[in-house]
Amino acid sequence: MTHVALVGGGVIGGGWAGRLVENGFDVRLYDPHPEAERRLREALENAERAWAQLTMAPRIRGVASVAPSLGEAVRDAEVIQESIPEDETLKRRLLAEIERHARPDALVCSSTSGLLPTRLQADMESPERFVVGHPFNPVYLLPLVEVVAGEQTSDKTVERALSFYSSLGMKPLHVRKEIDGFVADRLLEALWREALWLVHDDVATVEEIDDAIRYGAGLRWAQMGTFLTYRIAGGEEGMQHFLAQFGPALAWPWSKLTDVPELTSELIDKIAEQSDEQAGGLSVRELERIRDDNLVALLQALRTRDYAAGAIVKAHETRLFDAAGSGTEERDPARPLKYESVVDPSWVDYNGHMTEARYLHVFADASDAFLREVGIDAAYLGRGHSAYTVETHLRHLREVAGLEPLHVLTQVLGADEKRLHLFHTMTNARSGETLATAEQMLLHVDTAAGRASPWVEPVATAVTRAAAAHVALPVPDGVGRAIALTA
């Protein structure tokens, strides 16, 4: 599957384009908006910027284009994702028109955030191939997508949708019972209603309400949700104790969830004015980039723990690395392995230069790239084998600025049955100037036994060959250096 059609290029449609292109899918977008091309380009730029920070896994990006008509957009598509405004009549009419132009085996999906799929598929000739795939903004970063079937949707269609969204590094949530608003938006709506009342009654401003979430429960929700968080709040006795202790509070008049304030012009003005003040003069694009950077940082943090949304990113990154390893061109084994990176703005200190720890970060990534080259992949690690860095000597030769492009050349200085001696040279990718070097000794280990062990095939042979291939290379400047005061 390589070709996806998008119908509607607003915030959600543009977000879909970004995620699809970053995962190698070619996209044809149809949107009659006069600035559809510009909006698509800006969405793709944001997605590319975010994914460059999210993962260093090699990717072949797809191509996105704007089609002049609905028919041309969907004609050859294997998947069609509709993302037009939440108007049931309009969506039903459009879905019927999509069918007239689409392939008979095309999967037809809607991004609706709450309209019932049974009603949306009512006018389709082949309603069994329709399913809701409701994503969350920004689609190119947030992994959740709610998959909801209508009464006439086939089981095969649901399975195809779940598989397709998983291939994009997403977390499909199969909503088994059709309900207005599905699951996530019903939860969001409950919070939204209470927030409106708090503003209406002058209990809190919009910024204070957002602070109550982003500095408190929001950070817990990001990786544990509601029930697991409350289970922990119950202490050693768990959820039962929590419910016994806090359950009676549900009868207290803490919430107005069953009552919604009228959105009068006065309340609308109040919310709008407070929101303008909260934004502090930043444009939507600037706010989007701040949001994306924070989400990347959170996802990366969770990824290092292999937990919640970070586990999805880590598993998808592994698939990307494995796919790249099976399809890349053969390189000259006698040349040092080249690893490429860019200095993330979050890596710099108050002087605008990369912090000391990030030099090691980049060299560690270069070592990982070499280990993948010799066959230390997920399967090898899963069998209880790995390589640990036991000694490193770093030289900082030049200051490195934010967003500076980096190349790291990795040379094998030697290897035996358990050890691997590497030397990394970091350079500016544009000027070629040497920025830093690192000499490392890695030790092969049996992770179950917790001790050093000989390399295991086929890695053993690959390590030996790499060392032999590099034996004729000149010894880099700085090998064997030690820290000492000289006269």
**pLDDT band of 487, cuts 50, 70, 90:** low
Q: In what order do the strands lie in the sheet with 64-66?
A: 64-66, 26-30, 3-7, 79-82, 107-110, 130-135, 144-148, 171-175
The tens digit of pLDDT for each residue in 360-377 reads 999 999 999 999 999 999
Please spell the DSSP secondary structure of 69-94, one letter per residue.
SHHHHHTT-SEEEE---S-HHHHHHH
Among 317, 318, 298, which residue's Cα sits nearest to residue 308? Answer: 298
pLDDT of residue 232: 80
pLDDT at 193 over 70: yes
pLDDT of residue 177: 96
Tokens of 88: 């049931």
CA angle 145, 45, 60 (to 5 degrees): 75
In the chain, what percentage of residues exceed pLDDT 70? 96
pLDDT at 467 over 70: yes
Q: Which residues of 319-346 are buried (b: 16+ CB within 10 A; e: fewer)?
A: ebbeeeeeeeeeeeeeebbebebbbbee
pLDDT of residue 326: 55
**332-470, CATH topology level:** Thiol Ester Dehydrase; Chain A (3.10.129)
Tokens of 350: 């108050």
pLDDT, mean over the chain: 91
Helix axes 308-327, 284-304, angle to 10 degrees: 90
Q: Is the dihedral of CA 164, 166, 167, 169 positive or negative?
A: positive
Distance CA 30, CA 66 (A): 6
Beta strands in 253-384 (DSSP E): 337-342
The tens digit of pLDDT for each residue in 100-157 reads 999 999 999 999 999 999 999 999 999 999 999 999 999 999 999 999 999 999 999 9
Tell me the average pLDDT across 381-389: 95
The tens digit of pLDDT for each residue in 46-70 reads 999 999 878 877 788 999 999 999 9
Distance CA 133, CA 163 (A): 12
Domain with CATH 1.10.1040.10 in the chain: 185-281
Tell me the average pLDDT across 330-342: 86
pTM: 0.73
Q: How far apart are the first and last CA of the chain?
A: 67
With left for phi above 0 and alpha for psi between -120 and 50, is residue 399 left, alpha or beta? Answer: beta
Q: Is the dihedral of CA 123, 124, 125, 127 positive or negative?
A: negative
Residue 277 contacts by C-beta under 8 Å, 6 or more apart in sequence?
207
Spatial contact of 26 and 63, defined as CB atoms under 8 Å apart: yes
pLDDT at 30 over 80: yes
Distance CA 313, CA 155 (A): 27
Tell me the average pLDDT across 74-81: 97
Tell me the average pLDDT across 218-226: 86
Spatial contact of 445 and 404, defined as CB atoms under 8 Å apart: no
With left for phi above 0 and alpha for psi between -120 and 50, is residue 221 left, alpha or beta? Answer: alpha
Q: Specify burial of residue 20 (Cβ count, 10 A radius: 0-12, 13-18, 19+).
A: buried
Number of H helices, E strands in the chain: 17, 14
Least confidently predicted of 100-104, 162-166, 188-192, 254-258: 254-258
Tell me the average pLDDT across 339-362: 87
Domain with CATH 3.10.129.10 in the chain: 332-470
CA angle 72, 74, 79 (to 5 degrees): 155
Q: Specify burial of residue 57 (Cβ count, 10 A radius: 0-12, 13-18, 19+).
A: middle
Tokens of 462: 């690959």
Least confidently predicted of 226-235, 379-388, 410-419: 226-235
The tens digit of pLDDT for each residue in 269-295 reads 888 888 888 889 988 888 888 888 888
Q: What is the three-class DSSP state of 144?
A: strand
Tokens of 16: 């879909």
pLDDT of residue 286: 87
Spatial contact of 111 and 79, defined as CB atoms under 8 Å apart: no
CB atoms within 10 A of CB 85: 10
Q: Specify burial of residue 451 (Cβ count, 10 A radius: 0-12, 13-18, 19+).
A: exposed
DSSP 476: P
pLDDT of residue 156: 98
pLDDT of residue 482: 83
**Alpha helix (H) residue ranges in 280-307:** 284-304
Least confidently predicted of 243-252, 393-402, 436-445: 243-252
Tokens of 176: 């088994």
Range 185-281: architecture per CATH: Orthogonal Bundle (1.10)
**3-182, CATH topology level:** Rossmann fold (3.40.50)
